[in-house]
């Protein structure tokens, strides 16, 4: 049994990760400032003697002797990370430094949840880990993109200078139960509007693409990376590219087809294509997504129907 800290553990991906780790028999400590997390995401494990939830912001140092740290603390949707850009930057810089110092103190392995956003609006498709990206350092998304890039730099610097045991996961678009209805992500936006029968709003003409990975597959990738001897960065995501228009049509059909599809201008710096090369994860982790988009969307729709009472 490991003593495992999951920061941001009450959030979307973090809550699924906490549940898996508790099920596997580990002692799991969850730190979350509840800015975007929710205790309801942890309902299935709150009563477990192997789980402890503490309301805490990683910008403030805190001590805990652990064997492994999954650092998922940071708002991950544009609506949330642009609400307080300075705090977003602090979370992925000061907060990451605090996690690195904790890992160094106890000889723990630290896995940093990085992001496909470090590639910006990429000029290379699919994106491999050796691509340096195309990022606007002063745009509205920069508080997230650039601080996540710096977080990777901090991890590698600590590894080289102090021997800290680190892992870097570059997470691509992920969806599933426990997403927030108001997080501004494309899947949750489309599902909520489709279930209400409201218009589904599409940025641009809808030809831009994303690659959608179901949350259980993502959690499996994170666990495999943590227990590997691979530092990374490692892309974790689904290689099947789906246009935003196709996603809207699928969700609308699964929800009953009551919504109209309408268009609005593209946001500033919104990437046109996003598609991971996951060769490294396949070869070194034996990992690739298993859940199809239709299967995952049905499970996600079921969750939102229950949450919304529709």
Active site residue 144: yes
Do the beta carbons of residue 97 and residue 152 sit within 8 Å? no
Q: Catalytic one among 29, 70, 81, 144?
A: 144
Give backbone dihedrals phi and psi of 268, rounded to 5 degrees, phi first. -65, 135
Residues making up the chain, counted from first to last: 310
Outline where the chain has alpha helix (H).
Answer: 12-23, 78-81, 85-91, 94-106, 142-162, 186-196, 215-226, 244-254, 279-285, 293-308
Sequence-distant (6+) residues with CB within 8 A of 253 are none
Residue with tokens 């402890």: 52
DSSP codes joined into one string, 127-138: BPTT---B--TT
Give the active site residues. Answer: 144
């Amino acid at each position: 049994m490991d003593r495992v800290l999951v920061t941001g553990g009450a959030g979307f991906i973090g809550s699924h990760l906490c549940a898996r780790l508790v099920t596997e028999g580990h002692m799991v400590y969850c730190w979350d400032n509840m800015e975007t997390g929710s205790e309801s995401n942890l309902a299935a494990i709150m009563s477990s003697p192997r789980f402890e939830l503490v309301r805490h912001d990683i910008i403030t140092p805190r001590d805990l002797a652990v064997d492994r740290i999954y650092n998922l603390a940071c708002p991950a949707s544009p609506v949330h990370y642009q609400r307080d850009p300075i705090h977003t930057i602090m979370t992925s810089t000061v907060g990451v430094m605090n996690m690195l110092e904790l890992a160094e103190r106890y000889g723990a392995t630290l896995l940093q949840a990085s992001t496909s956003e470090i590639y910006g609006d990429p000029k290379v498709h699919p994106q491999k880990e050796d691509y340096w990206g195309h990022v606007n350092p002063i745009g509205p998304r920069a508080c997230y993109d650039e601080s996540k890039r710096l977080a990777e730099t901090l991890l590698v610097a600590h590894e080289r200078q102090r021997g800290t045991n680190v892992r870097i996961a570059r997470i691509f678009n992920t969806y599933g139960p426990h997403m927030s209805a108001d997080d501004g992500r494309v899947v949750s936006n489309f599902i909520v509007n489709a279930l209400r029968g409201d218009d589904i709003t599409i940025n641009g003409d809808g030809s831009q693409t994303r690659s959608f990975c179901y949350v259980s597959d993502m959690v499996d990738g994170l666990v495999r990376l943590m227990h590997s001897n691979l530092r990374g960065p490692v892309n974790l995501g689904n290689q099947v590219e789906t246009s935003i228009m196709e996603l809207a049509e699928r969700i609308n059909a699964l929800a009953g087809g009551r919504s109209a599809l309408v268009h609005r201008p593209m946001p500033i710096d919104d990437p046109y294509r996003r598609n991971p090369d996951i060769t490294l994860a396949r070869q070194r982790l034996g990992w690739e997504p298993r859940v199809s988009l239709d299967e995952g969307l049905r499970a996600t729709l079921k969750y939102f129907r229950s949450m919304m009472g529709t």
